[in-house]
Amino acid sequence: GIRLVDKDVIEAANAYGMNSRQLLFHVQVPLAMPNIMAGVNQTIMMSLAMVVIASLVSAPGLGTLVLDGINNLRLGVGFMAGIGIVLLAIILDRVSKSALNRVNKTYSN
């Protein structure tokens, strides 16, 4: 994220007389936004991967249907719940990527 911002850019911003708040919000955050959004996207995908694992400790949700389908050999139920999780992952991936594109357009101007 912010630690990956080039030190030369920070030095140039300091040379222009930016204070620490201006440096953070006008230089570091815009340059780090692609990395931050990639982390958000990975977190969303990992949380969806944990849905079935969470059902092993009796957490209700879509993972319960997958686990029920596997345990009781109801393959249709497990398959449909798995498809639901995959579709949810695809939708959330597209939403987070479009948000990243909007952020990139905002900060590039």
Can you read off the two tokens belonging to residue 108? 């590039």
Domains in the chain, number: 1
Residue 50: pLDDT over 90? no
Crossing angle of the two packed helices 75-108 and 29-55, in degrees rounded to 10: 170
pLDDT (mean) for 1-15: 91
CA–CA dist 69, 75 (Å, integer): 5
Domain holding 27, by residue range, is 2-108
CA–CA dist 25, 75 (Å, integer): 51
Q: Is this structure's pTM higher than 0.75?
A: no
* Sequence-ordered list of residues with C-beta below 8 angstroms from that of 25, at least 6 positions apart, any chain: none
pLDDT, one tens digit per residue, over 77-88 is: 888 888 988 999
pLDDT, one tens digit per residue, over 21-43 is: 999 999 999 888 888 888 988 99
> Given the structure tokens 């977190």, which residue do they identify?
43
CA–CA dist 55, 72 (Å, integer): 15
